[in-house]
Structure 1
Amino acid sequence: MPVNTAIQQIWFLVKKDLVLEWRQRHAFFGILIYVVSTVFVIQLMVHQPEEKIWNALFWVVQLFVCVNAVAKSFLQESRGRLLYYYSIVHPRNFIIAKLLYNVVLMIIMSLITLACSVALLGNPLIKPLYFTGIVVLGGVSLSLLFTMLAAIAAQASQNAALMAIMGFPLILPVLMLLANIARSAFVTVLQPGLPRMFLLLVGMDILTIALACVLFPYLWKD
């Protein structure tokens, strides 16, 4: 397939998701309410936690925000609509468009979660710009993984529970890596092994993209 045609198909699919998101913006605002209410409940229970607890709670909230924001990208697509897309676009372009859209959506939700956490739980960050970068990188990693899981779950009778079951053992290493990398934002000393953890996280992201591009065309045939 020519590169220009692939780019046009990807842009068409991303624009389609943007239009659907705007038409169903109640779902987006529902996720925003979920973020604010979750952080507010944490603030009522623990007030302003210490650095380690703050870091752990933030990434747990990120996990559930990602599940709510990204999972619907495939689960809201009907069988008939997926069949129509299959007839007009290449499966690899379809999954790339989903990955791109969910990455942008999750980055926005991640920054909103960070702003709510700082506003309601205090600001223990010594390196706020560094932590913001980790939040963006974490949003990308989580969205890539859950997009692939949502694509698999969509082929199993739209079973959202399947995504949660498959995602639990896969998301644990990513969350542990993100929490360990983000720990440097709370201290002034340089954390040992930090470049290796960055490379490992980026490698996992590249592997997720590669698996999605290779496996999804075969999944979509079924």
Structure 2
Amino acid sequence: MLRIESLAAAYGQSQSLADVSLHIGEGEVVTLLGRNGMGKTTTVRAIMGLLGSVGGRVTGGSIRFGEAALVGEAPHVIARRGIGLVPEGRQVFPTLSVEENLVATARPGRWNLDSIYGLFPRLQERRGNSGRNLSGGEQQMLAIGRALMTDPKLLILDEATEGLAPLIRAEIWAVIGKLKSEGQSILLIDKNLGAVMRLADRHVIIERGRTVWTGDSAALASEPELRERYLHV
């Protein structure tokens, strides 16, 4: 579904990615792991065509989604190809209501207001509230719901549970697990190693803009020195 080969990217003269490779098959949940500043969000921006908006550019390698080459395509074209993004920091529309946020970018498909409210009952309770009047957890639910309303073939979650209260984190993980059980392909970035190891099919670790390890949860669990070297602060 998604295949990244030897991706390189830079901000001005500063190289951010040097050699990132990963792939995601249909129905897979794959994590992108690494310490802060190692290139995870830059990789997501490159996938979504957003590097140019923050002064960056792809300098090498390839990104393919199905048969389509994504490098050089506009963000709205990439989104229409079937990639939904839940960005770091949520970025909901603050002046729009919950319901307006959900329908703003909706496309026909399996997701509609009723199915999103079934996934997140709290959003239905708050459907008339503006984005700025939601808690952080409610904003994250809204960001996930908004991305699903685009009917994505691949859902990207950048820092899925960062800064959320434990009960809200548990609810978000339960929803991600439900999406996986229904066959949703997901690229997941999160620091909660225990949760992602229970959930994901495979993990990709990047260090200083390079892919340094790929494997499943059993392999990652068996290598504490690897986790200590690349994932612990």
TM-score in terms of structure 1 length: 0.25
- Structure of higher CA gyration radius: 1
Q: Which has the higher helix share?
A: 1
Q: Which has the higher strand share?
A: 2
TM-score in terms of structure 2 length: 0.24
